[in-house]
Amino acid sequence: MVEQLRLMCVHAHPDDESSKGAATMARYAREDVDV
């Protein structure tokens, strides 16, 4: 049985998710990873 991957992103500042990690989160979301 293969376990579903999950990605938890923690950011220090409120706007970091859009300016620092948006592309990474979008890539994993496209690959059906629970982001």
Q: Residue 31: pLDDT above 80? A: yes
Residue range 5-18: mean pLDDT, rounded: 88
**Phi and psi at residue 19, to the nearest 5°:** -100, -20
Do residues 10 and 35 touch, judged by C-beta distance below 8 A?
no
Give the 3-state secondary structure of residue 31: coil
Residue range 19-23: mean pLDDT, rounded: 86
Residue range 14-30: mean pLDDT, rounded: 88
